[in-house]
Structure 1
Amino acid sequence: MQLSSIRRRATVLAAVSAAGVLGLAAPASAHVTVQPGQAEQGGYAAVSFRVPNENDTAGTTKLEVTLPEDKPLTSVRTRPLAGWTATIEKRPLATPITSHGRQITEAVSKVTWTANPGVRINPGQFEDFEVSMGQLPTDTDTLIFKALQSYDNGEVVRWIDLPNPDGSEPDKPAPTLKLVPASDTESGASPAPSGSAGADPAAGQVTVSAASEDTSDSTARTLGIAGLVVGVLGLAVGAFGIIRGSRRTAG
């Protein structure tokens, strides 16, 4: 076999292997999500709407989150975020709700964050928009929040798609919060899960926990990529050995 042919084959092999590593390392398409994605039924939760900027040439300047109308939330409070202005819209309830001895006649329908002049989420970055909300319903295991993400070039991305019947993810999934039954303690109280509050925010007893990230997927991905990189290096060394051996044979 000619030396030039061996070199070409070694080059192609290394290129294909490197492309495979880069393909696996590329991040999946990011969506607007609720972090953490789970809270206890019947309680109050502190969550963040995580908004990644998916546009390479424009910045995010507005986020609108619509709360589920069929599962009204009477208490929604935003955490101040530098450079952004939050506004809350409410709607009247057809049937008033009694909570902590008070009759509540309206629920929050929408929360909007608008960037101040000169502020935006730049390409390749994300922002967390934090809220405390409740009282979470006890008759459902899912809350769906439809969201609109606006860019400074006029583009609006509608994160409003409901889950597909077969369980697969739609193209523009709406942020979803999973609700789980409240856990019991010896005293009969329901402890607050990570990222949630166990008391009414209106009573000034909210205890907010830092949202924890699930690192198992990223760790496994990192280890897998590292193994592939080692494999590519091994292929490169093997190709170099083939070329070197061919040179000696040719000499």
Structure 2
Amino acid sequence: MTRYLQALVAGVVVGALFLVAPAFAHTGVTVEPAVAGAANAVVSFNAAAESTTAGITSLKIVLPSGIAPGDVTYVDGPAGWALQPDADGYVVAGPAVPVGRDVQHRVRVKQLPVVPALVFKVLQTYTDGRVDRWIEVPSAANANPENPAPVVQLAAPPGGFPNGVASNVPSPASTDHSTGETTPSPTNAASTPTDDDGGSPLPWILAVIAVLAVLAAGAYALNRRRSA
């Protein structure tokens, strides 16, 4: 019985990792400096590999209003990749990265628009033709879309935002722009894994693991007493 419970606990732990890990994937964007109107800002993208059989071959970035394709220059990315501007943004592409490897690239923007938030829509293409479309903009009606576009909140420029300038994009997370780490916003958990009822499954998973661990420990202790 003890060995069975131990195996069950191990299985639940592994299953929990598979359930939670994909929810924290997707595509992330950081800006430095993250200040509205900043000149020569560096925008960093991290596209998570979500296929177990194909590598990423290209990223199509739809730029926010106020940033023209001609205002963007390529800084760096995967070996052999290059940037090609198009009508509403740019495509960065090259030799396929190994299966399971995330793709990071950086661009420099001539000047950020004077707005509180930037939305970068991303289309991520794999060698097998699969396309992950991170293009849904969080809104008051749908704060937690299934395929969220990355949103970056910008600090106000010196003197503040002009009158009438306001963000209609809820913040999916508060971002530490020095590290790129995010923490869920209390009013918008777009970056937090949720179940169908809108709550996070993580507490339930941890509770099941804890209960099984207690059962395994009890069975082990009982078995030791019987042996003694």
**Which TM-score band (shorter chain)?**
0.5 to 0.7
Gap change, CA 1:38 and 1:171, over 3 Å in 2:
farther
- Say which of 50, 55, 69 aligns to 1:59: 55
Q: Determine if contact 1:36/1:212 at 8 Å carries over to the other structure.
A: no
Q: Letter of the aligned partner of 1:127 in structure 2? A: V
Q: Determine if contact 2:9/2:213 at 8 Å carries over to the other structure.
A: no
Q: Determine if contact 2:12/2:209 at 8 Å carries over to the other structure.
A: no
- Say which of 55, 80, 83 aligns to 1:83: 80
**Aligned Cα RMSD in Å?**
3.5
* Structure 1: unaligned runs, 5 residues or longer: 1-6, 91-108, 185-209, 218-223
Aligned to 1:72: 67
1:40 and 2:35 correspond: yes
Q: Determine if contact 2:55/2:101 at 8 Å carries over to the other structure.
A: no
Q: Determine if contact 1:150/1:157 at 8 Å carries over to the other structure.
A: yes
Q: Determine if contact 1:37/1:178 at 8 Å carries over to the other structure.
A: no
- Say which of 91, 96, 100 aligns to 1:120: 96
Aligned to 1:49: 45
Q: Determine if contact 2:33/2:42 at 8 Å carries over to the other structure.
A: no
Higher relative contact order (CA 8 A, sep 6+): 1
Normalised by the size of structure 2, how large is the TM-score? 0.66
- Say which of 181, 195, 200 aligns to 1:214: 181
Q: Determine if contact 2:55/2:100 at 8 Å carries over to the other structure.
A: no
Aligned to 2:222: 242
Q: Distance in 1 between matches of 2:179 and 2:125?
A: 27
Q: Give the drift of 1:236.
A: 4.6
Q: Letter of the aligned partner of 2:226 in structure 1? A: S
Q: Letter of the aligned partner of 1:136 in structure 2? A: L
Q: Determine if contact 2:62/2:120 at 8 Å carries over to the other structure.
A: yes
Q: Distance in 2 between matches of 1:165 and 1:133?
A: 29
1:137 and 2:113 correspond: yes
- Say which of 140, 146, 164 aligns to 1:165: 140
Point out the structure with max Rg over C-alpha: 1
Q: Give the drift of 1:16.
A: 4.6
| Superposition map of 1:172-191 within 5 A | 172-182=147-157
Gap change, CA 1:244 and 1:122, over 3 Å in 2:
same
- Say which of 2, 7, 21 aligns to 2:13: 21
SS of alignment partner, residue 39 of structure 1: coil
Q: Give the drift of 1:17.
A: 3.6
Moved more, 12-21 or 144-153: 12-21
Q: Distance in 1 between matches of 2:74 and 2:3?
A: 55
Identity %: 30
Normalised by the size of structure 1, how large is the TM-score? 0.60
SS of alignment partner, residue 181 of structure 2: coil
* Structure 2: unaligned runs, 5 residues or longer: 160-176, 185-202
Q: Distance in 1 between matches of 2:144 and 2:123?
A: 18
Q: Distance in 2 between matches of 1:13 and 1:36?
A: 48
